[in-house]
Amino acid sequence: MSNTITTTTKLGKPRRRKGGRRSVMTRRNSNKICRFIAAGMPLQHAAAAGGIGKSTFHLWQQKHPAFAEAVEKARAKGLATRLAVITVAAKTDWHAAAWYCEHVFPDSFSKSRLELTGANGSPLSAAVALYLPAKDSPENAKTLPVVTTAEP
């Protein structure tokens, strides 16, 4: 049994292809994946919706520059759509403008800074507790607490 299949081209010439599973890398499937990406779906989920895994998706991007470019265009289109929604919402609701500033300019507007203080704004104090065995006898392993505190 041969491992090749003979088919014919549009001109009737024989064409030989190896047997095995056909690739799902088709223009239709690529367009489907790009539509999902443009709609805002994460890349991994868009790939799964197109019937491929995350590693196959990245392999396609490496092997097919046209597909990689189409994915980047889909991401840019999706971003433009979402920014337009935020811009319209920011005209009537300051929360949308604040969200945009926090996420696009995090160094200037992010709330991710964390400050810790003690009671009434005083510096934090720390305490360390050590438990040492009693020195009276090794059989009687009693422990005595030793507590020290450090003030800044």
CATH of the domain at 56: 1.10.10
Statement to judge: residues 58 and 78 lie in one domain: yes
Look up the domain containing 41 and give its range.
23-109
The pLDDT, as a whole number, for residue 119 is 78
Helix ranges, the chain (H): 27-38, 43-49, 54-63, 65-90, 94-104, 106-109
Tokens of 67: 């597909």
Statement to judge: residues 80 and 28 lie in one domain: yes
Statement to judge: residues 100 and 131 lie in one domain: no
pLDDT in tens, 50-100: 999 999 999 999 999 999 999 999 999 999 999 899 999 999 999 988 888
Mean pLDDT value across the chain: 80
Statement to judge: residues 103 and 33 lie in one domain: yes
Statement to judge: residues 69 and 130 lie in one domain: no
Please say whether the beta carbons of 112 and 106 come within 8 A: yes
Considering the entire predicted model, what is its pTM?
0.56
Residue 10, in any domain of the structure: no
Residue 14, in any domain of the structure: no
Residue 6, in any domain of the structure: no
Number of domains in the chain: 2
Statement to judge: residues 136 and 81 lie in one domain: no
The pLDDT, as a whole number, for residue 1 is 46
Residue 86, in any domain of the structure: yes
Statement to judge: residues 83 and 132 lie in one domain: no
Q: Can you name the residues that pair with 147 across neighbouring β-strands? A: 129
Residue 114, in any domain of the structure: no
4-8 and 126-133 beta bridge pairing = unpaired
Q: Which of the residue ranges 13-22, 33-42, 89-98, 133-142 would you say has the lowest mean pLDDT? A: 133-142
